[in-house]
Amino acid sequence: MNAREEIAAPTAARVQGTIWGVGLGPGDPDLMSVRADRLLRRARHVAYFRKAGRSGQARRIVDGLLPEDVTETAMEYPVTTEIPLDDPRYNALLSRFYADCAARLRALSDAGHEVLVLAEGDPFFYGSFMHLYIRLRDAVPMRVVPAITGMAAAWTATGTPISWGDDVMCTLMGTLPEEALVDQMVRADALVIMKIGRNIDKIRRALRRAGRYDAAWLVEYAAMPDQTVQRLSEAEGRITPYFSIILVHGQGRRP
């Protein structure tokens, strides 16, 4: 057999590593799923979002659970509250950011590495992981580990069921216009209001206009060491922290 007739042995194709979206639950590591705990304790690569200069809530939740030699990829937001949501620059900056993060994760997957993306709450519920998922799902193997949501921890903290029988529950973002908030607050039986922060005064006005203010509860840091639970009316004039949820319980049909 001469050189021209030689056939090179095929090179085994590298298998892509799986990108996992791992839900960590509302904040207390004890509320994490068994699957999430098992994955974290054998992790080789983890990635998580955080604000520049901060350790990040997701990373804090898993402190002490990761192997000592794990490789960490911190994805730092280019903007949080510095630019209004309705400013075109906001979406443009975040779109580039998520595209860059997705490219970093794809490179790790293409190199055969399994990566756990740490997600506060549930990965498919108003979280940053979703923006990576839609950019990567057709390019790399992906799996998602669901988790307890922050709002579930919040209504549990009140000691009262959030909905009964035929109650309609509505989850609202405090970033919505006041008129939209009022409209939904009037229509729904049970309310969960998130992304409060600097929207708190608008939310208070909307609840009053909808006749729901006196029934509203404020839960701060649900399932975290600094958890507080009180009537919203008792927190009048206060600016609430980022990890805050307002609840109005349903009063529907029951046996």
For residue 80, what pLDDT is reported?
A: 66
Are 135 and 51 found together in one domain?
yes
CATH of the domain at 55: 3.40.1010.10
Q: Within a domain: residue 1?
A: no
Give residues with Cβ within 8 angstroms of 50, minimum separation 6.
56, 57, 58, 59, 74, 75, 76, 77
216's CB contacts (< 8 A; 6+ apart) are 191, 207, 231, 232, 233, 246, 247, 248
Q: What are the tens digits of pLDDT across the range 141-188?
A: 999 999 999 999 999 999 999 999 999 999 999 999 999 999 999 999
- Edge-to-edge strand list for the sheet holding 244-248: 169-173, 190-194, 244-248, 216-220, 228-231
255 part of a folded domain: no
Mean pLDDT of 234-251: 90
**Confidence class for position 219, pLDDT limits 50, 70, 90:** very high
> What percent of the chain is modeled with pLDDT above 90?
83
Judged against a pLDDT cut of 60, whether residue 72 lies above it is answered with yes
CATH number, domain of 207, equals 3.30.950.10
Q: Do 69 and 101 lie in a common domain?
A: yes
Gyration radius of the chain's alpha carbons: 22
Please check whether residues 110 and 164 belong to one and the same domain. no
Q: Would you say residue 124 lies in a domain?
A: yes
Is 43 a domain residue?
Answer: yes
What residue numbers bound the domain in which 104 lies?
A: 19-148
Domain count, the chain: 2
Look up the pTM and report it. Answer: 0.89
